[in-house]
Amino acid sequence: MKKSVIALGCLGILVLGGLLAALSLAGLYNGLVGRSQAVDSQWAQVENVYQRRADLIPNLVATVSGAANFEKSTLTEVTNARASVGQVKIDPSQAPTDPAQLAAFQKAQDGLSSALSRLLVVSENYPELKATANFRDLQAQLEGTENRITVERQKFNDVVQGYDTAIKQFPAVLMASMFGFQNKPYFEAAAGAETPPKVNFDFSATQPAKP
């Protein structure tokens, strides 16, 4: 009788231990899923703000090109840079796991940022643009969008850091390798990337328009 009770007690302990272990593993798995989905969700936000900027550029180009003798090479540079961005295809709903793919995406987007910044600097030589209501509206929208890009990229790096750290910690690292939770790359900070491009159309001290 005593042996039966002891056996039942041991069996109960084993069952309880197995149940606790299963619950613990389920919690780890669900936690990794949640972190992975948070990265994907933030990636979608990054894509959204970049798309917002891309949507503004045709209107900007059309507005600026109306200025007399505006430098066509600058407009062409922006147009080509925008086209290059469109050639880098990444699923907007799922963050990339290939560092080379994200690097190509960032390179194209940073190239567009650079071309856009040059266009805006050149625009300061054309005070007649200041009187254009559409141009003033684009000023506000572009400034806000560039700031949002910086913010959303930083948020993305933050959630990726949390996810990448989680899948490397024990015992989650065992489950991560078992269920295919892969390391996700960051946006790399380029020189001057911590400061968003200035979109400032203050013509209080403009230079004469180029002939």
Q: Is residue 12 part of a domain?
A: yes
Q: Is residue 186 part of a domain?
A: no
List of residues 6+ apart from 180 with CB closer than 8 A: none
Range of the domain at 156: 2-179
**pTM, two decimal places:** 0.79
Total number of domains in the chain: 1
Model pLDDT for residues 86-96, shown as the tens digit of each residue: 999 888 889 99
Q: Is residue 208 part of a domain?
A: no
Q: Is residue 17 part of a domain?
A: yes
- Residue 205 pLDDT > 50: no
Model pLDDT for residues 119-140, shown as the tens digit of each residue: 888 888 888 877 788 888 987 8
* Distance (Å, whole) CA 21 – CA 9: 18
Task: Tell me the two tokens of residue 76.
Answer: 């062409």
In the chain, what percentage of residues exceed pLDDT 70? Answer: 77
Closest CA to 37 of 160, 190, 177, 209: 160
For residues 20 and 136, the model is more confident at 136
Q: Is residue 188 part of a domain?
A: no
- Residue 68 pLDDT > 50: yes
